Amino acid sequence: MSFSIAIENGDIAMQGDHFKLVDGTEKLTQDLTVWLKERFQSDRFHPQYGSTLDNYIGGVISSVTVYEIESEVNRVLRNYQSIQVKKFREDPSKFSPAEILAEITNISSNVYYDYLEVYIYFKTYQGTNGKIKLDVSVG
**Cα(105)–Cα(74) distance, rounded to whole angstroms?**
11
Per-residue pLDDT tens over the stretch 77-130: 999 999 999 999 999 999 999 999 999 999 999 999 999 999 999 999 999 999
66 pLDDT band, cuts 50/70/90, is very high
13: nearest Cα among 32, 27, 28: 27
45 pLDDT band, cuts 50/70/90, is confident
* pLDDT of 68 higher than 90: yes
What is residue 23's predicted lDDT score, i.e. its pLDDT? Answer: 95
60: nearest Cα among 21, 116, 124: 116
**Cα(30)–Cα(7) distance, rounded to whole angstroms?**
8
**Cα(74)–Cα(69) distance, rounded to whole angstroms?**
9
Q: Mean pLDDT over all residues of the chain?
A: 94
What is residue 47's predicted lDDT score, i.e. its pLDDT? Answer: 83
**Cα(137)–Cα(117) distance, rounded to whole angstroms?**
9
What is residue 37's predicted lDDT score, i.e. its pLDDT? Answer: 94
**Where does residue 41 fall: left (phi above 0), alpha (psi -120 to 50 degrees), or beta otherwise?**
left
Question: What average pLDDT does the segment 43-52 reach?
Answer: 87
Alpha helices in 13-62 (DSSP H): 24-37
Domain boundaries, given as residue ranges, for the chain: 27-137
CATH topology of domain 27-137: Nuclear Transport Factor 2; Chain: A, (3.10.450)
